[in-house]
Structure 1
Amino acid sequence: MARSVIPYSYRPGNSLLHRLPAGLKFLGLLGISLATFFFGPWALAGAAALILAGSLIAGIKPWELFCGSRMLLISAGLVVLIRSVQFTPLGFDTEGCVAGLVFAGVLMVSFCAASLLFSVTTMAELRDSAAKAEGLLLIAAAALLKPLKPSWSRAVSERRKKPVIALVLTLMLGFLPRFFEIWNTSEEAYRARGGRKGIKQILVLVPLVSERMLETAGETAAAFEARGSLL
């Protein structure tokens, strides 16, 4: 039986991409996303090439990065279709079609870049990297505030003991792979009971997965409360 690939799940490895600092990989993701949104088709092509090279370096099949993107692909296809229609007079809009294809490419490249990040980076690595970055920012802020307001400087320095931004960022990022894991499990259960693909599957799974995600959020909050770590 073929191995089921869970979207946005971590895949253990010892490749160069796995060993890179998590912060550097996260900055790379931001750079790719911004470049594809603001610098046109050439940046989009370059970003796609980088992601392809990264997946090969990490030992991940490039097409596996698209796992979980079905709804995004459908949405992108609808955008291309709508942009391709010229209403006055009715006809085919070549420029609109090209713009729609570029937009669809941006969405898919950003999705694959994030998928690659989660495939080679653990949540613990992301959390530690975010905590270090927040600590450096707080040190700089405390140094700037010290001549102006010593009490504020001390308060900012105290925040280093509890990296709030790093915690929030990690929790937000952590829900992405968790969502896909829950969706994958629910979909397998649905299929095992004879459910069929299509609109009915989406109508059945969306409320179930939403309920489970809310339960997961509650469990996470309870765990932090038990550890005295609520914000």
Structure 2
Amino acid sequence: MNGVNGLTGAYVPGGSFLHRMPAGAKLLGLALSCTALVLLRPPLALAGAALVVALLYALSGVGAVAAWAQIRPVRWFAVVLFAMQYLLDGWAGALSSVLRVLLAVALAGLVTLTTRTAVMMDVLERLLAPVRFVGVDPFRLSLLLSLTLRSVPVVAGLAARVREAQRARGTEWSVRAFAVPLVVSALRHADTLGEALSARGLDD
């Protein structure tokens, strides 16, 4: 398991109580918190939940940049979701829907930021142990889940860099000038990741 430590994840070292909390407890807390978010309806109650999440981030000591990096990939999705929900359910329903999504993403990001990848994978592998009976390797499945979580901020970062390059060239409205470099960058990242996995004997 240590062979993949540092290969994935966005862990920020620290000594907060969240860093010291067992990974299993954090995953359970995440599941319960997301369930509570689904049940919360009034925007005011969700605003209170947002304050709690902000407090957790402050206590974790991961920093504002790392915190914003968790929300940034879904910011435009949140805008579109708000517009659609506003037409269907009014501003209160739209605000509630957007807050639920953003808070769930922020909580999941907080777990990732305060948990080492190898530790997270150990817990996931134990939880996924029953899939061994249907011929699936729990370790490889846990690695896949970890890679999936890590790919979201990575691709978002690549998109941001491509967009900045577009602005510098004055082609920010060109879909092709955005899509082609992003796809090329994503493929290069995939190649690099594949080489790292291969070096660790995880390519088969």
User: TM-score scaled to structure 2, two decimals?
Assistant: 0.71
1:177 corresponding residue in structure 2: 153
Give the CA deviation at 1:195: 4.1
Which residue number in structure 1 is paired with residue 168 of structure 2? Answer: 194
By how many angstroms is 1:131 displaced? 2.1
Q: Which string of whole-angstrom CA distances, capped at 9 and with x for unpartnered residues, describes residues 43-77 of structure 1? A: 63454233122112112456862346456334433
Pick 1 or 2: higher relative contact order, CA cutoff 8 A, min separation 6: 2
Alignment equivalent of 1:133, drawn from 122, 127, 133: 127
> Which residues of structure 2 form unaligned runs of 5+?
1-8
Q: Which of residues 173, 177, 184 is equivalent to 1:204?
A: 177
- In the aligned structure 1, how far is the partner of 2:26 from the partner of 2:16? 13
RMSD of aligned residue pairs (Cα, Å): 3.7
Which residue number in structure 1 is paired with residue 17 of structure 2? 16
Cα distance in 2 for residues equivalent to 1:84 and 1:168 = 36
The equivalences for 1:65-80 within 5 A come to 65-67=67-69, 69=71, 72-80=74-82
Match of 1:53 among 47, 55, 72: 55
Q: In structure 2, give the amino acid aligned to 1:169.
A: L
CA contact (8 A) 1:127 1:166 kept: yes
| In structure 2, C-alpha distance between the alignment counterparts of 1:67 and 1:55, rounded to whole Å | 12
Partners of 1:183 and 1:209 within 8 A in 2: yes
Instruction: Compute the TM-score of the two structures, normalised by the length of structure 1.
Output: 0.64
Structure-1 separation of matches of 2:37 and 2:146: 24
Cα deviation for residue 134 of structure 1 reads 2.9
Pick from 91, 96, 99 the counterpart of residue 90 of structure 2: 96
State the percentage of identical aligned residues. Answer: 23
Equivalent residue, structure 1, for 2:202: 229
In 2, are the aligned partners of 1:35 and 1:43 still within 8 Å (CA)?
A: no
The 3-state SS of whatever aligns with 2:128 is helix
For structure 1, the 5+ residue unaligned runs are 1-7, 86-92, 139-154
How far did 1:113 drift? 1.5
Q: How many residues align?
A: 195
Which has a greater percent of helix?
2
